[in-house]
Structure 1
Amino acid sequence: MSSVEYKSIFALSLIFSVRMLGLFMVIPVLAVFTQGMNGFSPVTVGLAIGGYGFSQALLQIPMGWLSDKIGRKSVISAGLLIFMVGSVIAALSDSMNGIIMGRIIQGCGAISAAIIALAADLTREQHRTKGMAIIGMGIGLSFCLAMIMGPVIGSYGGLSGLFLANAAMGGIALMALIFFVPSPVVFSRDLNSHVQVGKIRDILRNPNLLRYMGGIFTLHFVLMALFVFIPKQLQQAGYDSAFQGVVYLGVMMASLVVMMPMIIISERRRWLKQFMLVSIAVLLLSLALLSEVKISNGGLIVAIILFFIAFNFLEATLPSLVSKQSKAGFRGTAMGIYTTCQFLGAALGGSLGGWIMMFYGIQGVVFLCGILVALWWLYSATMKHPPYVRSMVMALYPSSRGNTQETGQMLAALPGVEDVSILADEGIAYLKVDWQRVDRSMLYRYGKC
């Protein structure tokens, strides 16, 4: 990648991560800091936690399409301003209704698809996968930081201070967009970063992809439902708001120490299905511990650590599985549906979790989550082993562009090449390759990867 490409990708990663940091930072403290507020109840807490998911799920794909029409930076700028407005509304609110409204408006700044499309516009074909990986790592880091920073900032500035920090982060992201991200000269037609309406039906007919969509829905449903009561449980265990940040720091460090070797081993040994089933089982175990009426302080911490070991592994692995299972050139559409399921899970997890908490208590919430996770395990146990392939984007040499149909057939005939899709007008080939079997010297005769 060139220096301009690196600068653009890191700036876009910062924008994406800072915004996600703001959305997630209030999750570990909302249930505690809103106690005594006008309209407080488990139901309104759940709506405040997951409210952003409704607007995100509804608007993220349309906002991506809008960026094709009026420009990426215009849509991203508008989305960040909307996010800042929602943050200020929530910061100035003294009732749960105001906070819920602010969270929903925050989610209306749904710029994920536009950022991914802009990243594709600003990088050459052969470097786009690397660019998307950098953005993905930033998102994962932002979630971990949010769990740690939320309680710490909240202990000093309260809930209003947290939401004002959200607004400030939106401002930082907007400045990064204006000063560090160049405007693309042309819009790239990149199939790995755009949702193609005509391909949605094909994605929904793939049973393995449906398993992954259901999996990410369940994972974020459970996450948001549990955070309706976990912060209060920690408070009752003697961990005040400020110290909860230290607790989450320890939890995240412990979970990452276990999770990283799991990812490496599962990929290297090709045990993704086995590790996925084990992780879902660990989720069930953590829920079983949380369901204990008189859980000890140590048991509570162990349950949270187990939950985040499984959560972080599945959160990192499921997008990879979607990418592996999607046909060449279909990844953008598959990921668009995938993220919509993720936001819907967050929205319904918070709202239904709060409603059940109000009438059936912690055991009711855990029971519902346990049923969903058990069904997910059973559904996943019947899936085929995923193909161990990598997605590649190849810029074809001029000599390979004359007869793209013939070029596609020759590429598909190479050992280790599992799938090929070519955009003839763009001179770009989308490939799925088994990296252990493919002859790279033969592959590179047709273009740059």
Structure 2
Amino acid sequence: MNILIGVGIAIAGLGGFVLFLWLLFEWQYKTRQGNLLEFDSGVWQFLTYEPEHYRLELLLTATNHTRNLDVFLVEVNPILSLLSSDNLDEIHSKVQLRSRHPNTGSRNDNYWESYIVNPNQSTGVEIQIDLSGKNLEELKTAWVRVGYTIYGPAGREEKIKHCIIPLQFPDANQRERWRPTPDADVLPIRTHILSAGDNPVEVMQRYVMSHAQAGDIVTIAETPIAIMQGNFYHPSDIKPQWLAKRLCYYFKSTSSLATACGLQSLINESGAWRVAFAFVVGSLAKAIFRVPGVFYMLAGEQARLIDDVTGTLPPYDQFIVLGPKNPQAVVDEIKAGTGLEAAIVDVNDLRRVKVLASTSGVSENLLNQALLMNPAGNAAEQTPIVLIRPNTPT
């Protein structure tokens, strides 16, 4: 009997040791960085900007963020889509791809030669876009989908980097019509299609300062700020998990959380446990105490700010746009760069005004009154900025 007990203890001990080794092995695997190679937002410039000929250069940097693993960048394939207010029949486009590898020559035949990116090192991609023909002035945006394939310890992965390049720029000095409200005049200001390459302060300096005077307040919608921060994702880049696939059915169809990808984007920001807790408590509060909105109070600020696909202007209607990061820092930078009081707002056609952040000299009551009728609009106005001029100095 003692022998059997001893054998049982030995087997249990061996099993426990094997289980420990397996858990340790799995933990090590889960903490591996895998193929952690990512592209930045890129920088672009016009090389030629003539009535019937545009030539643009887009430079991207791919960085291997792993600590000690090589990652191969084996394929790069840019695809161009043009957005215009007219047809594209007489517009011809050509896309040219070149590598910018350190210490390696570049090919001119659009073939991407596989390249090993060492840990914490980078390589470059140059894309030149040539547009020619009539009606180029009707072009609004170039959407470049940079498909790329990486290969490494985690296998072969195909990804896409989306680059939005504006092609049409409103005249910043064009006189616009102010609109009266009871306590202030408001001026919606048109801009180009903003992108991750834009800076909020520079946008204000370009489009607002020729209209502004001391005492004015400049407001900008939350979605363009998030876009300029690069805080938007294509649904193909979001992998809905168990929780998102099930909970999304409980939201109204008009909610940005009513799709698995939309809800997963919130989970990615707030965490699965927080979203699950908010859902349970919010459901009980609504069912038992008839108190709506508890979920949004508990699930984090992004719960109210996420715009699912179709929620904004093309081409961002194809993306999930989150709320802006650190909005208070943004308005402080705008004030420092322009001298104007500033606010980031969320306004809709239902007469709802939410102030996400504002500088110290801004009256929220004045903002609520001045923006109540949503002068920026919710359609294709392309006027994300509203300049407010109080009737009496603030």
* TM exceeding 0.5: no
Bigger strand fraction: 2
Which protein has greater RCO, CA pairs closer than 8 Å, 6+ apart? 1
- The two structures have a TM-score, normalised by structure 2, of 0.29
Bigger helix fraction: 1
- The two structures have a TM-score, normalised by structure 1, of 0.27
